[in-house]
Amino acid sequence: MALKIVASQCTSCSACEPECPNVAIFEKNGTFVIDPAKCTECIGHYDAPQCAAVCPVDDTCIIDNSYPRYQPPA
């Protein structure tokens, strides 16, 4: 139920951090990471995940398949 940031691709530009409606993004060891417990894939907030939309490097903010997809509350 979350996106993740591919650390090797992250330029640490910080563009994603303020865009996250769930305040799930923070800096760790020089790159940014997403707290999967807070991430809602922006469902209910915006049409598309904000981190992926603003990220300057393609395929860096991606769906983390180790979690089930986010299910919005009914």
Partner 1 sequence: MDATTQHEGDAIGMSDKLAEIMQSKAEHQGCGTSGGSGKASCGSSAGQGDLPTEIWEKVKNHPCYSEEAHHHYARMHVAVAPACNIQCNYCNRKYDCANESRPGVVSEKLTPEQAAKKVLAVASTIPQMTVLGIAGPGDPLANPEKTFKTFELINKTAPDIKLCLSTNGLALPDHVETIAGFNVDHVTITINMVDPEVGAKIYPWVFWKHKRYTGYEAAKILTDRQLQGLEMLTERGILCKINSVMIPGINDNHLVEVNRAVKSRGAFLHNIMPLISSPEHGTVFGLNGQRGPTAQELKALQDRCEGEMNMMRHCRQCRADAVGLLGEDRSAEFTTDKIMAMEVNYDLESRQAYQALVEEERVAKVAAKQQELESLAGEQSDIKLLVAVATKGSGLVNEHFGHAKEFQVWELSTAGAKFVGHRRVDLYCQGGYGEEDSLETIIRAINDCHAVFVAKIGGCPKADLIKAGIEPVDQFAHEFIEKSAITWFKDYLAKVKSGEIEHTVRGDAEIRQGALISAA
Instruction: Tell me: does residue 7 bind partner 1 (CB under 8 A).
Output: no
Task: Give the binding range for partner 1 (CB under 8 A) out of 33-41, 47-55, 64-72.
Answer: 47-55
Q: Which of 1, 7, 33, 53 binds partner 1 (CB under 8 A)?
A: 53
- The nearer residue to partner 1, 40 or 50, going by C-beta atoms, is 50
Instruction: Tell me: does residue 13 bind partner 1 (CB under 8 A).
Output: yes
Determine contact, residues 40/22, Cβ cutoff 8 Å. yes
32: Cβ contacts below 8 Å, ≥ 6 apart: 5, 10, 12, 14, 16, 17, 25, 26
Distance CA 56, CA 45 (A): 21
Instruction: Tell me: does residue 14 bind partner 1 (CB under 8 A).
Output: yes
